[in-house]
Amino acid sequence: MAKKTYDLLFKLLLIGDSGVGKTCILFRFSDNHFTTTFISTIGIDFKIKTVELRGKKIKLQIWDTAGQERFHTITTSYYRGAMGIMLVYDITNEKTFDDIVKWLRNIDEHANEDVEKMILGNKCDMEEKRVVSKERGEAIAREHGIRFMETSAKANINIDRAFSELAEAILDKTSGREADADHARIAVERRPSRAPPARACCS
Amino acid sequence: MSEVENKVVPVESEEKDYVEDGKNKLIVKCKFCGSKILDKKSAKYITLEKELPLMQQDNNRKEGEIQNESVNEFYHVENMYTFENIGFTHTVANCKYLSCADCDAGPVGYYDMETKHSYVAISRIVHA
Ligand SMILES: Nc1nc2c(ncn2[C@@H]2O[C@H](COP(=O)(O)OP(=O)(O)OP(=O)(O)O)[C@@H](O)[C@H]2O)c(=O)[nH]1
Ligand SMILES: [Mg+2]
Ligand SMILES: [Zn+2]
């Protein structure tokens, strides 16, 4: 046997309406001087990222999904093996926010009932075009008892942090139920960001 | 597992200062952003001939044309979860290309869909 190089492996999915920014969340806006048109033409299927949480080395395998697939066509096979789901809407598009409820219903129907969810209100860099307030995002997350964060793939706001929060929530589940039930929520609201400093970006 | 396979060339690899016991002596990082791709001693050094698309394609190239170069030194990764941080592209002709998980630079190597093994091009990474 090869030496074990990690403690846990979590599979995560990005889900949400077309155009909300799932691909951009996975595939950073790398419009730096070394932008590689070759990679962006083909597109990223998934990424493997390593994070350390509470002394554990965790591998995250993060999958993009094609948004033209609507919730009514997404069934069990789509969610197979997923331990975490990032449910993304666009703060500048009301419809994508309304559809969150439908996506949640779809996840309830087809995903593993243990799956950890998180709602992301993406494109928070576009304040002037905002139509969904942060409060409404927080409210729907509270209503369903799941985590929430506003992100910007473009400005690299909260992206790494969102993934480590989701990973942490899964870790709480897998490392026994003795964990304080309120811990997860507090973690979202209080924990300082552990994400590395934002890279120089497009803006 | 530890047996050296036919195509590995231990004699030659001894001369490389970044190879030790047939493996990467140092941490493998992205050339552009320094993102950690492989931990030290986690992948086997191998030589093989492979055409890889250039990381920087000429903007004036013909539409649909892909500029390749021949690469012949790789780190061989049998299990994809050995990677610290890496991206996998969609599949093209039974292969996925590898890219930096943090800045998306690439291809830094490729993944063979049949064997499920990955190959990191040594000329496209830096050691640290
Ligand atoms: N301003 C801003 N634009 C964004 C952000 N994220 C994505 N976009 C833009 O939104 C558009 C759609 O982004 P994608 O990542 O392709 O959306 P998607 O969710 O993958 O869509 P499908 O693949 O069709 O499901 C693109 O034009 C992006 O440039 C963001 O954080 N801020
Ligand atoms: Mg997409
Ligand atoms: Zn990089």
End-to-end CA distance of chain A: 47
Domain count for chain A, please give it: 1
| Per-domain boundaries in chain B | 20-54+67-127
Q: What is the pLDDT of residue A78?
A: 78
- A39 with B79: Cβ contact below 8 A: no
Checking ipTM against 0.95, whether it exceeds it is no
Identify the CA nearest to A155 among candidates A118, A132, A127, A192: A127
Question: Which of A23, A42, A71, A202 best tests ligand 1's pocket when mutated (most atoms within 8 Å of CB)?
Answer: A23
Ligand 3 geometric centre to CA of A113 (Å): 36
Ligand 2 geometric centre to CA of A14 (Å): 9
Instruction: Identify the sign of the CA torsion A55, A24, A159, B107.
Output: positive
- In angstroms, rounded to a whole number, what is the distance separating the alpha carbons of residues A120 and A103? 13
- In angstroms, rounded to a whole number, what is the distance separating the alpha carbons of residues B96 and B81? 15
Share of chain A above pLDDT 90, in %: 58
More confident of the two residues A35 and B83: B83
Tell me the fold of B20-54+67-127.
2.170.150
What residue's CA is closest to ligand 1, atom 1? A123
What residue's CA is closest to ligand 1, atom 2? A123
Task: Residue A119: give the domain boundaries.
Answer: 8-186
* Beta bridge partners of residue B112, listed in sequence order: B95, B117
**pLDDT band at residue A71 under the 50/70/90 scheme:** low
Share of chain B above pLDDT 90, in %: 73
**pLDDT band at residue A96 under the 50/70/90 scheme:** very high
> Does A174 map to a domain?
yes
**Which SS3 state, helix, strand or coil, does residue B84 take?**
coil
Write the CATH number for A54: 3.40.50.300
What residues flank ion ligand 2 with Cβ within 5 A?
A 22-23
CA–CA distance from A120 to each of A3, B13, B34, B53 (Å)? 36, 48, 28, 35
**pLDDT band at residue B62 under the 50/70/90 scheme:** confident
Q: What is the pTM of this model?
A: 0.84
